[in-house]
Amino acid sequence: MYKSKLFMALGTGLAASVLSAGACADGLALPKKLEGKAVVLTQDDPDYARAKLESAVKPPGMGGVSQALVVRITEDIPVYRMWNGPDKKDARGNTNRLGGWWSYDAPNGPVDKYRSDYEICRAWNDLTWMATCTLKKGAVVAIGPGQSVSPETCGDPTGKEAYAANDKDWQTYVDRPWARPTELVCPPDSQDYAVATNNIAKAAK
């Protein structure tokens, strides 16, 4: 009989290590694109915890964001997410149209550039369809520069698939969007489109 050891550790070791890895938003300022549309929350704001920084901020090589601001949206803004399309479902029958990771910058350029800019492993997302939803006034989310992703994290058997951290293209983390229908509002997926691989701003012909 193989044995298993159980250690009940009720401390906050992992959370502490993640926070020390860069959750503190040293030197970050609200991006110009969001000026007048969002305000930065401080840790003493009652809504601060709703952004779930501990889920968004990750150590180097593990994706997510390297550090983050918690913001409250003060004016409805569009947010964008690439996904696998309505016909591709996981083993449980779900699509990946809704998820935690979004961008507030309007997408453009080739799919491969978007994948690199937003550090998205091929195993995680085909990036074939575009959804545009609305982050509503009052929503509380985390935003920050993308963290790097290593080949191991991607599970890339060639060891070559890696993405550098990106200070330019910030990510938007919406924690558990399916449970926040008043904060993230999406149209029917019939309004989404299959992207052209050379320019994701356009639908494939």
Nearest to 22 by CA among 64, 74, 57, 71: 57
| Number of residues lying near other proteins (CB under 8 A) | 55
Give, as ranges, the residues between 81 and 100 that touch other proteins (CB under 8 A).
90-94, 96, 98-100
Please write down the long-range contacts of 6-14, taking CB distance under 8 Å and 24 or more positions apart.
none
Q: Which of residues 102-131 bind other proteins (CB under 8 A)?
A: 120-125
Q: 153 is written with which tokens?
A: 């994290």
Nearest alpha-carbon partner for 112 in 195, 173, 204, 205: 195
Exactly one of 63, 85, 144, 146 binds other proteins (CB under 8 A); that residue is: 63
The answer to the question of residue 188 lying near other proteins (CB under 8 A) is: no
Contact between 9 and other proteins per CB under 8 A: yes
Does residue 154 touch other proteins according to CB under 8 A? yes
Measured from the CB atom, is 80 or 173 closer to other proteins?
Answer: 173
Residue from 21, 49, 54, 162 binding other proteins (CB under 8 A): 54
Question: One-letter amino acid identity for 42?
Answer: T
- Kindly indicate which of the ranges 22-30, 61-69, 105-113, 183-191 contains the residues binding other proteins, using the contact rule CB under 8 A: 61-69
Is 55 an interacting residue with respect to other proteins (CB under 8 A)? yes
Give how far Cα 25 sits from Cα of 11, 40, 152, 153, Å: 24, 11, 27, 24
How far apart, in whole angstroms, are the C-alpha atoms of residue 205 and residue 193?
10
Determine the Cα–Cα distance for residues 167 and 30; give it in Å rounded to an integer: 13
- Contact residues toward other proteins (CB under 8 A) are 1-15, 18, 52, 54-56, 58, 61-64, 90-94, 96, 98-101, 120-125, 150, 152-159, 173, 175-176, 178-179
